[in-house]
Structure 1
Amino acid sequence: MKVFTEKRPLKAYLSAIKSEKKSIGFVPTMGALHAGHLSLIEAAQKKNDIVVVSIFVNPTQFDKEEDLVNYPKTYDKDKQMLESIACDVLFYPSVKEIYKDNISSNHFDFDGLEHQMEGKFRDGHFNGVGTIVKTLFEIVKPNVAYFGQKDFQQLQIIKKLVKKHHLNLKIKGCPIYREEDGLAMSSRNVRLNLELRKAAPFIYKTLKKARKKFKTKSAEKVVSWVENKFKKHPLLDLEYFTIADEKTLETLIHKESDKKYRAFIAVFAGDIRLIDNIKLKQS
């Protein structure tokens, strides 16, 4: 595995790869890798000649300083994991390499996608995401980039970014990778103590029950049911639960047969914020 910490030599290396008409798959990460990340890399390996993984904890997408400070950083372990699955290239830049002396976000218009759900609770988050993802795309110039559907809103926003800025690549959304007890894999899970880790699968169990109820009940009743379930939970605090249109991410008011819907949830387990989502069927 080749490791690059600077943009210029990485660009030169990948330019030579492109000149040989080889395809480049790209998996951007913030490190603290787990099996979910590896599933994205393996998906990229199946469809591309070479796979690039980036590890960069992006400061501009954190709305709280303590979240940035507490974000798990496990570079040596991450590097070993990547080597174990024969990853081709790792890009591991410093903050200075990416932002120089100006650690700030550009402003993006994602046609309203950025104002829903996560955007309501994490001020400036998607400007930070847009800034780093666009920067990384311009450095790596991949044919296809791979993202997990756990961050479904982010996935839709990145698709919008590519379309609006006429970037020459495809975005592939991959299924949520879960622990055996259903908890969506996340780098934040390692921060859960034993008690909270035992409680956390309640999130996915509730999502599955909500999916079943959605077939016969209104969105309003399903939302109310979920909110009541979490009010009674001693360890988990619901930040939001919403049912939204998959395409626009706008909150569902009245079901329409030709639209696809998804339930989205954010929960605090202690001070650790967990998100998840599930596709819904109307009948």
Structure 2
Amino acid sequence: MQVIRTAAEMREVRRGMTGSVGLVATLGGIHIGHTAHMNVLRPMCDVLVGSLFLNPTQFGDNEDLSKYPANEDADLAEFEKHGTDYVFAPSVGEMYPDDEDVPQIDPGPYAKLLDGVRRPGHFDGVATVVNRLFSIISPDKATFGEKDAQQLRIIQYLNDSRGLGIDIIPIATVREDDGLAVSSRNTYLSPEEREAATILFKALTVAKLSFDSGERSGEVLRFMLSSVLAGESLAEVEYASIADVDTFEELDYVEHSARALLAVKIGNARLIDNLLLA
């Protein structure tokens, strides 16, 4: 496995690659959720590239950039263990050089709701860094997780609206045995908070069971989410949503399918999760 630090070298190496190129983009803090991406994508491409970049532009002023649990040596070892050929691991100055005008990318209409409201500027940073990675690495395929469903939709919009032609491959949410979605931020949880965090999946499961039993009222399904979450004193709910699967607008009535989405703070961890209702 080769580690590449500069955009110029990455572009040069990319020109010499043959066959299909796949990308797994990460902030670091590699866990089994990330390695699931590698395991899916490795057989689908001739060359597997990982990226390792803790992007400051997608973190707000009071968010956890300085505490984010990334360890480069451990992260690189995981990439190598899972068959990655190259890892692009640039500095902030390399990704946002003073002598280059890195275009700020509009994340589109899907960024104006839910996390777009709760984390102003977050999706602008996501769209800009992903576009930058795409322009440097030029992948044929790239994976993004369904746990970050709104982010996934924004990246699909970016790909389509800019005519990039990349095959964006959604990866199903990876969960612990008790249902908690795997996340780097789970490391912030104390044992008591870790137990409390299972309330997110419990709430989503109740909404899913109700939907499967015929409930179609968005208001009722949202009430079910909120009612379950209210039973956990450590849970500080930011939103409990029943939204359109494409637009992320709240639904009064679910015709065919919807996505139940949650953002909940437990201790110092802001956790998000979702479940498709279909």
TM range (shorter): over 0.9
2:5 corresponds to 1:8 = no
CA distance in 2, matches of 1:224, 1:206: 10
* 1:147 CA drift (Å): 0.7
On the 8 A contact 2:33/2:182 being kept in 1, the answer is yes
The farther-off stretch of 133-142 and 219-228 is 219-228
Match of 1:181 in 2: 178
Could you tell me how far apart the structure 1 residues matched to 2:70 and 2:42 are? 25
**Alpha-carbon distance in 2 for matches of 1:103, 1:40:** 31
Within the alignment, does 1:123 sit opposite 2:123 as a pair? no
Measure how far apart 1:230 and its partner are: 2.1
Gaps of 5+ in 1: none
CA deviation after TM superposition for structure 1 residue 65, in Å: 4.1
Q: Percent identity?
A: 37
Q: TM-score if structure 2 supplies the norm length?
A: 0.95
Q: Which amino acid aligns with 2:83?
A: A
Q: Could you tell me whether the CA contact under 8 Å between 2:242 and 2:250 is conserved in 1?
A: yes
Structure 1 match to 2:64: 67
Distance 1:250 1:60, change over 3 A: same
Quote the offset at 1:229 in angstroms: 2.4
Match of 2:237 in 1: 238
Number of the residue aligned with 2:219: 220
Q: Is the 8 A contact 2:260 2:274 kept in 1?
A: yes
What secondary structure does 1:100 align onto? Answer: coil
Q: Kindly provide the CA deviation profile for residues 45-101 of structure 1, in whole angstroms up to 9, marking residues without a partner as x.
A: 010001100011111111234411121121111111112222111110000000013
- CA distance change for structure 1 residues 208 and 103 in 2, over 3 Å: closer, same or farther? farther
Q: Give the equivalent residue in structure 2 for 1:142.
A: 139
Q: Which residue of 1 aligns with 2:54?
A: 57
Gaps of 5+ in 2: none
Aligned match of 1:108:
106
How many angstroms does 1:205 deviate by? 1.5
- Assess if the C-alpha contact under 8 Å between 2:200 and 2:229 holds in 1: no
Q: 1:23 touches 1:49 (CA, 8 Å); kept in 2?
A: yes
For 1:81 and 1:138, how far apart are their aligned partners in 2? 25
1:254 corresponding residue in structure 2? 253
How big is the shift at 1:105?
7.4
- Deviation, structure 1 residue 5: 0.7
Q: Deviations over 1:220-265 (max 9, x none)?
A: 01211221222231211111110111111111112224xx311000
SS at match of 2:16: helix
**C-alpha separation between the residues in 2 aligned to 1:103 and 1:182?**
43
- 1-structure distance, mates of 2:27, 2:56: 10
Q: Equivalent residue of 1:208, what SS?
A: helix
What residue in structure 1 maps to residue 275 of structure 2? 278
Paired residues of 1:105 and 1:127 also in contact (CA < 8 A): no
Cα root mean square deviation, aligned: 1.6
